[in-house]
Amino acid sequence: MDDDRHDVIELSRRYITQQAELGGSEFFFQNANRSLKGSFSSQQDVCFWEESLICRRCRLAQTRKHIVWGEGNRNASLMLVGEAPGREEDLQGKPFVGQAGRLLNNILKAIGFERKEVYITNILKCRPPENRDPLPDEIKSCLPILEDQILRIGPKVILTLGRYAGQTLLMTADPLNRLRGKFHDRGGIPCRVTYHPAALLRNPQWKRPVWEDVQALRILYDQIVGDKPPWSPHEK
Ligand code: URA
């Protein structure tokens, strides 16, 4: 790491530590080229933010408006992992806030979760231009951030949304229709793979498999975590 970059990281770290100690919960940096915005809830999050704050690991740093870090409960037992921010997410700095996000909120509601109870993030933290597919080197650069999030949040169950999220987290090239319909062991964490809400908008015939996946997810969640009022499936 060159000296300049090291200085910037050190300054950012000190600034965020100071803000966390003062009880702040949000930060906002701006310079001529871009603005960076985020929030933290505890001292524990300080290192969590540090790298992403100035992340230049891949080409997407040149075109993104915001790093879409993730959102939700930092102690969530359920973590959702999508593909990459889209236009709306890039503008707002939050995951799943567009049309697919509204459908995702409804899917969560159907199995008795409020969005704020879970943690939602993506494989890529920055928007690929024109929403193109993530490239292998971008996934490789970004994955350590997701691994860190999984370690810090410690979900008991993971739901991946779409092909890229499922294949990346399970380290496989198997097609999504072979991955869905069962639980996978992802480093000791049960992981369910399902279709992406954006794909569901285009292919309504996938509604039933998604409903089967999320029902199974909720049933397993109750067995493992058991912190929610009784839930019973009803026809969707
Ligand atoms: N699609 C994703 O995969 N993630 C988002 O945050 C939004 C749309």
**pLDDT at residue 156, rounded to an integer:** 98
The larger pLDDT score, comparing residue 230 to residue 101, is at: 101
Rounded average pLDDT over 153-159: 96
Cα(12) to centroid(ligand 1), Å: 28
pTM: 0.82
Rounded average pLDDT over 110-120: 96
How far apart are alpha carbons 4 and 7 in whole angstroms? Answer: 5
How far apart are alpha carbons 18 and 87 in whole angstroms? Answer: 33
State the closest ligand 1 atom to the C-alpha of 120, by its place in the atom list counted from 1: 6
The residue to mutate among 122, 125, 176, 194, having the most atoms of ligand 1 within 8 angstroms of its beta carbon, is: 122
Cα(81) to centroid(ligand 1), Å: 9
How far apart are alpha carbons 56 and 44 in whole angstroms? Answer: 23
Segment (H or E) for 157: strand 157-161
The residue to mutate among 89, 118, 168, 200, having the most atoms of ligand 1 within 8 angstroms of its beta carbon, is: 89
Cβ burial 112-150 (10 Å sphere, 16+ → b, else e): bbebebbbbbbbbbbbbeeeeebeeebbebbeebbeebb
**pLDDT at residue 124, rounded to an integer:** 97
Q: Which of 23-37, 54-68, 101-115, 214-228 has the lowest mean pLDDT?
A: 23-37
Is the minimum distance from the CB of 128 to ligand 1 under 6 angstroms? no
- The torsion of the CA quartet 109, 112, 116, 122, rounded to 10 degrees, works out to -70
41 pLDDT band, cuts 50/70/90, is: very low
**pLDDT at residue 45, rounded to an integer:** 47
123 in Cβ contact with 164 (< 8 Å): yes
Rounded average pLDDT over 137-152: 92
**pLDDT at residue 148, rounded to an integer:** 86
Rounded average pLDDT over 119-143: 96
% of the chain at pLDDT higher than 90: 67
pLDDT in tens, 157-183: 999 999 999 999 999 999 999 999 999
How far apart are alpha carbons 2 and 148 in whole angstroms? Answer: 24
Q: Give me the domains of the chain, ranges plus CATH numbers.
A: 2-54 (no CATH), 71-224 (3.40.470.10)
